[in-house]
Structure 1
Amino acid sequence: MPEALLDPRPVRRALLSVSDKTGIAEFAKRLAEEGVELVSTGGTARLLREKGLEVRDVSELTGFPEIMDGRVKTLHPGVHGGLLADRRRTEHLAALSEHGIAEIDLLVVNLYPFEETLRSGADAETIVENIDIGGPAMIRAAAKNHASVAVVTDPEDYDAVLDAVKAGGTDLALRRRLAGIAYARTAQYDSLIATWFAKGEDEAPRRVGLSGRLAQTLRYGENPHQWAAAYKDGSERPGVLSAEQVQGKALSYNNLNDTDAAYELVAELPRDRAGVAIIKHANPCGVASGETLGAAYEAALRCDPVSAFGGIVALNRPLDGPTAEMIAAIFTEVVIAPDADEAARAAFAKKKNLRLLLTESLPDPAAEGALIKPIAGGFLFQSRDSRHVGPDDLRVVTERAPTEDELRDLLFAFTVAKHVKSNAIVYAKDGATVGIGAGQMSRIDSTRIAAIKSEDAAVASKLDQPLVKGSVVASDAFFPFADGLLAAASAGATAVIQPGGSIRDEEVIKAADEQGLAMVFTGVRHFRH
């Protein structure tokens, strides 16, 4: 059999050019020990020489120096011929010989740090300079020619390649797997670049791409018969995927989804007060602000102690020991917080299945972002609902204006309603939810369910009357009829916050006045499907 058709293919020459230099020196050293000739560029070549390795400059392959501040160094037949020559074809081998082009058996390239440059807040010129051209071109060339060449884009593949080199060479299965990883990497890279170029455009981009890097494989999806995995998209938004898991078993698909919902909600609560959100099936079942985390947790739990069983708890402050003891007193799946003191960690250590996740910071609710929902034949793409409603956004539409206490609770309730599946109704009092109606087909049903749950919570907490009495109520969208508002008044609400905009607004306002309610319009809707 001709050597060109051998599999595994021996590695005699490797081209290494990396921005992320993690492990590259040791990897190159072990390649050299196996007799592999090293070719490199710029900073990678300098690093390898500093480590005592013999390295050829890529200019020796091209016969041409790097020019234009390094913009042009590998875009040359001396490189791409060595990568693209199909060793199974005699005419390709003849072309290599005729033009004096050296074969390249292994390409190791990762790309200019475009993602990191974006996150750094760099100016447009710096961002553009960190768009790699030669790297993606080489990666795609080597990946296309995976029948002859192995391409590595991630340091975690170094060991597998070294094992193959030591065993005599890379086999087709490995080269094919590495090629797939390489194309996914360039697709992700180009997608991020395209998204940056499209940022700020009024019109939807003509083309968008979805990309991510595997963060963890999951045992299954929403149900055991569905496979699932979690991916990072390069945005580095603080949250469940950036958190450190201190203890507990592996997170499930549903755990990740619910924990994300919880942390995004608690990040919107006032930062000058301790905040707690308890989530079940991606809906809040209790949310509160308080002077201490313990007080906030007690108030949040009081809203719906039955649904809180097996829920997710998110905190906007570092977890302390006393609050941890309270949380651990009932079955809780996940707790996520910016940090936790030693007493809190010790309290949770007694509950081995409870997952504790710690993050460095809270996500910014006002930050731009995109939400994607698959549908048959494609997907829906929209910006994140980053709109926050404050006092200046409100318009009083009733004869009675809300009191200061009512106004504070109205804004709190409307913030929570933004994170409740539509149709959403939220009753709140003293900085805490006291009744939540979620995901109903009619708004009046959500209104009634929220009041019923408040009554049930009162029974569970042995209260004289439901906390909904004397509360305020928020609706994520307008009341299409007065019946929902009247149901809220009947439950005990004294003030209402809603977007307004219905053709029956005047009818609803009249009903509010007749009930002595204060009502404000926000002009902002918060549907969540």
Structure 2
Amino acid sequence: MHLRHGMNPHQAAAPVTPVRPGDQPVRLLAGEPSYINLLDALNAWQLVSEASRALDGAVTAASFKHVSPAGAALAGELDAAAAERHGLDPAAAGALGPATRAYLRARDADPKSSYGDFAALSHPVDAELAELLAGVVCDGIIAPDYEPAALDRLRRKKNGRFVVLAADPDYRPPARELREVYGLRLEQDRDRAELSADLLQPVVGPAPDPAATADLLLGLAVLRYTQSNSVCYVRDGVTVGIGAGQQSRIDCTRLAGAKTDLWWLRRHPAVRRLAFRPEVRRQDRINWQLRYLEGELPGPEVLAAPAPELTERERGDWLAQLGGVAFVSDGALPFRDNVDHAARHGVTLIAEPGGSIRSADVEAACREHGITLARTGLRLFHH
């Protein structure tokens, strides 16, 4: 496999070679990936395949940007707001296949960040999903297999430049990982800890039910392949807010919490009533929805009718309805402020490794807010 260029276009890249000669984890079926495309693809594939394995084979999708997920989701119900944003009839959304629903839910988690993403799917890609991918701004996809009609459609996207990778689901990576940085070679054991419900032992509150367990396991799989420090909020099998790569965990919590609020506010009736002019493109509509929520009113060049008013009280009342959100952290919560802040975004469950000198304070905060706390004992840093 030859890369189009290195991390940046001015950096030349050498051919990609397997660590074990003849043992290829992926095959290139179309396009010419860049260095970052391949990093996104390999991380995204590990995420969806591990999440699917931990969740009894559930169809799982991810939308990756800059080596962290913008969103990840299971193939659950596609709500009316997400369907409308992609030009679909909400009444017909239930007839969509699981692959399409999983990817649409993952992409809708943070549609601004998913613009120009790299997609991943735990199961084979069918013609329906391929047709959807042909109509969105996306750089490529990795999946275990493709229906012939799906592969033919994707090979025609972007005049043949769309990257299509097939992952070998039976591939097992080497036990040791190697990285070279500034003339030094770093080597470590691969993180092979299995993700399972056995990790979710509650220390505050009742044991999570099956739906909550699925959300927490999806969150653990997501954080394993998200640049640390990282946290994520998950609801109904969708990562509604991901905070990645922050030096302070509370900053991750606030960033992801703000994304969670936006995810919920995009479902407000006032947002759905924005009457865009026919010539306004889908991504521009999404961007204007976010700008509207940030206080900027679209003008007549964007809307066919004036924007409805959305008062601060109406926003607050709507946000107060958000609940049933799971919160997962890749490292120990060092202070209770993370719990206090997460509680403002509808969080009712938290999973974190534990082991902080302030763990007792974290437990006390969870009891005060009525939040179930599970200690995994498993840190999932990723750099």
TM-score normalised by the chain length of structure 1? 0.55
- State whether structure 2 residue 10 is matched by structure 1 residue 225: yes
Q: Choose which of 41, 45, 51 in structure 2 pairs with 1:259.
A: 41
2:66 equivalent in structure 1? 281
Q: Distance in 2 between matches of 1:313 and 1:443?
A: 27
2:221 equivalent in structure 1? 415
- State whether structure 2 residue 374 is matched by structure 1 residue 520: yes
Q: Distance in 1 between matches of 2:339 and 2:23?
A: 38
Alignment of 1:58-457 (within 5 A): 215-216=1-2, 218-229=3-14, 230-234=16-20, 239=25, 242-245=26-29, 247-248=30-31, 250-271=32-53, 272-290=57-75, 292-351=98-157, 352=159, 353-361=161-169, 363-364=171-172, 368-457=174-263
Kept in 2, the 8 Å contact 1:275–1:289? The answer is: yes
Q: Distance in 2 between matches of 1:363 and 1:510?
A: 44
1:243 aligned partner, one-letter code: R
1:169 equivalent in structure 2? none
1:423 aligned partner, one-letter code: N
Q: Distance in 1 between matches of 2:99 and 2:236?
A: 15
- State whether structure 2 residue 356 is matched by structure 1 residue 502: yes
Q: Distance in 2 between matches of 1:378 and 1:254?
A: 22
The structure-2 alpha-carbon separation of the partners of 1:497 and 1:373, relative to structure 1 and needing over 3 Å to count, comes to: same
The structure-2 alpha-carbon separation of the partners of 1:405 and 1:237, relative to structure 1 and needing over 3 Å to count, comes to: farther
Kept in 2, the 8 Å contact 1:481–1:507? The answer is: yes
1:163-205 deviations in whole A, cap 9, x for unaligned?
Answer: xxxxxxxxxxxxxxxxxxxxxxxxxxxxxxxxxxxxxxxxxxx
Alpha-carbon deviation of 1:226? Answer: 2.2
Kept in 2, the 8 Å contact 1:395–1:520? The answer is: yes
Kept in 2, the 8 Å contact 1:444–1:484? The answer is: yes
Alpha-carbon deviation of 1:495? Answer: 0.2
Alpha-carbon deviation of 1:336? Answer: 1.2
Q: Distance in 1 between matches of 2:171 and 2:366?
A: 37
1:451-490 deviations in whole A, cap 9, x for unaligned?
Answer: 2122334455647957964210100000000001211111
SS at match of 1:268: helix
1:480 equivalent in structure 2? 334
Q: Distance in 1 between matches of 2:376 and 2:169?
A: 29
Kept in 2, the 8 Å contact 1:278–1:287? The answer is: yes
Q: Distance in 2 between matches of 1:287 and 1:363?
A: 22
Alpha-carbon deviation of 1:521? Answer: 0.3
Kept in 1, the 8 Å contact 2:45–2:167? The answer is: no
1:268 aligned partner, one-letter code: E
Kept in 1, the 8 Å contact 2:260–2:345? The answer is: no
The structure-2 alpha-carbon separation of the partners of 1:480 and 1:359, relative to structure 1 and needing over 3 Å to count, comes to: closer
1:88-146 deviations in whole A, cap 9, x for unaligned?
Answer: xxxxxxxxxxxxxxxxxxxxxxxxxxxxxxxxxxxxxxxxxxxxxxxxxxxxxxxxxxx
Q: Distance in 1 between matches of 2:377 and 2:46?
A: 22
Alpha-carbon deviation of 1:281? Answer: 0.4
2:220 aligned partner, one-letter code: F
SS at match of 2:51: coil
TM-score normalised by the chain length of structure 2? 0.75
1:356 aligned partner, one-letter code: V
1:323-380 deviations in whole A, cap 9, x for unaligned?
Answer: 112222211101111111133134324412322222343545xx55322233445222
Kept in 2, the 8 Å contact 1:267–1:363? The answer is: no
Q: Distance in 2 between matches of 1:301 and 1:238?
A: 28
Kept in 2, the 8 Å contact 1:320–1:340? The answer is: yes
Q: Distance in 1 between matches of 2:215 and 2:332?
A: 18
1:200-242 deviations in whole A, cap 9, x for unaligned?
Answer: xxxxxxxxxxxxxxx43x3431113322222221166653xx3
Task: Report which of the two structures shows the higher radius of gyration computed on alpha carbons.
Answer: 1
Alpha-carbon deviation of 1:269? Answer: 1.7
Kept in 2, the 8 Å contact 1:264–1:363? The answer is: no
| Identity, % of aligned positions | 35
Q: Distance in 1 between matches of 2:20 and 2:107?
A: 35
Where do 5+ consecutive residues of structure 2 fail to align?
A: 77-97, 273-314
1:67-100 deviations in whole A, cap 9, x for unaligned?
Answer: xxxxxxxxxxxxxxxxxxxxxxxxxxxxxxxxxx
1:259 aligned partner, one-letter code: A
Root-mean-square deviation (Å): 2.3
Alpha-carbon deviation of 1:498? Answer: 0.4
Q: Distance in 1 between matches of 2:341 and 2:152?
A: 46
Q: Distance in 1 between matches of 2:219 and 2:365?
A: 21
1:246-301 deviations in whole A, cap 9, x for unaligned?
Answer: x33x1111111111111111110224221111110000111112261112112111
Instruction: Give the number of aligned pairs.
Output: 308
1:182 equivalent in structure 2? none
SS at match of 1:270: helix
The structure-2 alpha-carbon separation of the partners of 1:360 and 1:373, relative to structure 1 and needing over 3 Å to count, comes to: closer
- State whether structure 2 residue 343 is matched by structure 1 residue 489: yes
1:338 aligned partner, one-letter code: P
Where do 5+ consecutive residues of structure 1 fail to align?
A: 1-214
